Every structure is written in structure tokens, then in C-alpha cells.
Structure 1
Amino acid sequence: MRVDDTAESATPKRVTKRRIQTRERLLDAALLVFAEEGFGRSTVEQICERAGYTRGAFYSNFASLDELFLAMWEQRSAQMLADLREAVSGEYTGEPGELGVVESTARILDAIPIDDQWYRITAEFTAHALRNPSLKRVMAAREEAILATILPIVEAALARAGRRATDPQALGRALVAVHDGTTVQCLMEPESDTVRRARTNLFVSVLRNYSEEV
């Protein structure tokens, strides 16, 4: 049975429990459809079919597939940031210097898992955004906002290791570059311990080279 949310669309500003559930089911369905079909080949109809809703339900929550993806990205980013905060806020061994950097790196990487499904979706959407100047600007602004939120968390982790960032902005961009590049390598060779170790070592190197002891 399909669900008709015309009652919700008549009062779009009212956030009800049912409306929240509808939105969550559409986001969950979109994740599966995007992963299976690719963002560029996915349609509103496919997502509605997977979620069990009508097109009216979709458009009462999202203006377009672009808006839906950005909502999905914001949701996952918020969860990642929460996981990162929790990971770096726990008890540390108290080891100084290099061992402290290694422990901080392990905590950061544990909070940012390598997700094949999500990587494929974001890579396809990024390619789509690069063809759309206004969407590209939105993506860039959101990336900057996420980076601004992550940096204090990373700096707090460094402080617990007895270090401080010498150039926080450069550190943040270097970490993003290492994450993006090594994620591809790990996905291409998922069984390779060598690739995983290289990823960890690169993160340790970036943290060490963009920080100093205090």
C-alpha cells in the first residue's frame, strides 16, 4: 500500500512525528536507490516506490533530488561529527609526543569509517555539482562549514597529545586531502593491510608535520 501525504503537504510548516518519519523513510530509500542506480540515473519515482510513498509525499519534503541529497549529506555529516567528538573525548593513555599523535590518529580514523556505498554516491553527486555552478557553491560552503566544525575537535585531540596546530586551516585541508585520496585506495584494495597502514601513517605524518609540542 502506498501512502498519500496530502494532509502533510497542506501544512508544510508543521513538523509532526509523521512528517519526520516520512522524511526519514525517503532519505533511507534514496540511499539505497542512489547506491544501486547511481545518482544520475535515479528518479523521484524510484525513491517513492522504495519508500512506499507518492510523489506528493516526496515534494512536500524536498524540492528536488539535489535537495534530498544535501539533506542526506547534512544528516550523515552531523552523525560523523558526533562520533568524532565522542571518539576524541574519551580517556587517553597519557602518552606524550609521537605516541600521543598515533593515539589521536587512531581515534580520528575510527570515527570516520570507509563506506563504499556512501563514497560512490558522493563521488557521483560531486561530479554532478561540478556541472552546476550554483550547486557547486552550495557544496563548497557546506564543506567549509564542516571543516570549521572538525578543526576544533582535531585541535582538542592534539592538545591531549601535548601538541598544537601550527596552521589549523592548512592542517584541516591536508587531512581532508589525505582522507579522500586514501579512501579510494582502501576501497580499491579492501583486503590490503598495507594500504590501511599507509593510510594511518599518512594521517600521523600530517598531524605531526602541521603541529608542534607545547
Structure 2
Amino acid sequence: MNHPTTPAPARPPRQRKATRAQLIAAAADLFAEHGTTNVSIGAICERAGFTRGAFYSNFKTVDDVFFALYEQRNDEVQQRLEALAADAPFSEQAHCSLESVVATILRALPMDPQWVAIRTSFAGQAQHRPEVAAALREHAEQLRRHLQPLLLHVLELTGRRPLDSVEDFTRAVITAHVGAITQSPLHDDPEAVREAVVRGIILGLTTEQ
């Protein structure tokens, strides 16, 4: 007979934050090893060295851990974007080359095939789970909102502007970046392919001011 899991005793905020971080890190390792989010709560607890009670004090499901990891990745990208926006050459130059723009965007968006594979695997559930689709859309929009100001700023320094809405243009750049990473195992120089794809999207979807 199965008995309900007894919740773990309340932990001090700092300790709970550390526990949550360790559970996310353990899940990230397992996701990467398996190439999917289809791992068990028990496996995450064992890897992190915590009980199920500790898990349920922080998360309800493995999906919740995935989205916490997604938010963490988005925060890391936002920090890179803020650092790049404050970079002196871009804050002071009156003009810069398209190559500089592409290089800046690629520095902001990490080349991480494992993470893209995990995200793609999880996104496969979206067709049958509306709540997953909605959550993925919101996280994708967070990335778009973070990237858009820097993308527009450096684009203006080249004397170009988007042909369509700024929002659609930014989504297209992100899609090109993710698509290039998805295809990276098929190429000897995936970074060169990513650069060519992002450069092509920028040229194709912008015009001179």
C-alpha cells in the first residue's frame, strides 16, 4: 500500500534556496545525460542527495524543475545582454559593421546543443499539453524581450532597420540561432554555420534606413 509522502520540515530560506539550486543542477545533469526531460523524481533526488520530501517542498513535478532551469538559462542570457549593452564600443560608436552585429548577437546567445536538444524534446509534448505550450511560449517571449533592445541598438549602428515588426524580426533571429544549433551535429564547423544563418536572416529581414 502506498502512503503519501511526508513533507520535509520547513527549512530556513537560505537553506531552502540552496536545496532548490542543487535539485535544479541535478536535474540539469540528468537531462543532459539522457537527452530528454523524461527522468524520475527519484533519480533527481538521488543525484542531488535529498529526499522526496525535500523535492516536494520545492517542486510539484519534473516539469516544474525544467521550467526553473529554463528561467535560470534565460537569466544568464539576460546578464550577458546587459553586459554587452554596456560595452563601450557599442555605446559610443556612431557606426559598426554587420559582422560586429552578428558577433555581438552570437556572444549573447549561447552555443549549447545539449540544452537545445533537451528543450526540443520537452517541446514535443506541447502538441498534446496546452499548459506546456503556454509555458514554453512565455519563456520564449522572455528571451525575445531581453534580446530585442540590444538587437535594435546594434542594428541601428549599421544603418539598417527591420522590414517588419521588431518583435517578429527578433523572433526570426532567435529561431535562426536555435535552428542552426539543432543542425550542428551535421556540420564540421557549426559555429560558422550559425554565423552564416544569423547573418542571412539579418540581411534578408532588414533594409537600409
Q: TM-score band, normalised by the shorter chain?
A: 0.7 to 0.9
Q: Which 10-residue stretch deviates more, 169-178 or 102-111?
A: 169-178
How far apart, in 2, do the equivalents of 1:40 and 1:92 lie? 40
Number of aligned residues: 201
Match in the other structure for 2:192: 197
Q: 1:169 aligns with which of 150, 167, 174?
A: 167
TM-score under structure 2 normalisation? 0.85
Q: Residue 40 of structure 1: CA displacement? A: 4.9
| Aligned counterpart, 2:129 | 132
- In proportion to residue count, which structure has more helix? 1
Describe the shift of the 1:70–1:56 C-alpha distance in structure 2 as closer, same or farther (beyond 3 A).
same
Instruction: Please list the CA deviations of residues 56-95 of structure 1 after superposition, one character each: whole Å capped at 9, or x if unmatched.
Output: 0001001111111011101111111211232243133848
- Aligned residue for 1:164, secondary structure, equals strand
Find 2:42's aligned residue among 21, 40, 45. 45
Deviates most, 42-51 or 152-161: 152-161
Counterpart contact for 2:36–2:117, Cα < 8 Å: no
Q: Specify the alignment match of 1:83 in structure 2.
A: 80
C-alpha distance 95-198 of structure 1, shift in aligned 2 (>3 A): farther
Shift of 1:136: 1.1
| Cα offsets for 1:142-181 (capped at 9, x unmatched) | 2223212321121122123333334312211221221121
Question: What is the letter of the counterpart of residue 144 of structure 1?
Answer: E
Q: Who is 1:54 aligned against?
A: 51
Pick one of 57, 62, 66 that aligns with 1:65. 62
Query: Normalised by the size of structure 1, how large is the TM-score?
Result: 0.83
Alignment of 1:177-196 (within 5 A): 177-189=175-187, 192-193=188-189, 195-196=190-191
User: How do 1:133-172 residues align onto structure 2 when only pairs under 5 Å count?
Assistant: 133-167=130-164, 168-172=166-170
Correspondence for 2:3: none
How much is the aligned-residue C-alpha RMSD, in angstroms?
2.4
- Name the residue aligned to 1:211: 206
Find the aligned partners of 1:89 and 1:210 in 2 and give their Cα distance.
Answer: 26
Q: Could you tell me which residue of structure 2 aligns to residue 105 of structure 1?
A: 102
Q: Is the 8 A contact 1:100 1:162 kept in 2?
A: no
CA apart distance, 1:8: 2.2
User: Identity over aligned residues, as a percent?
Assistant: 29
Q: Name the SS for the 1:131 alignment partner.
A: coil
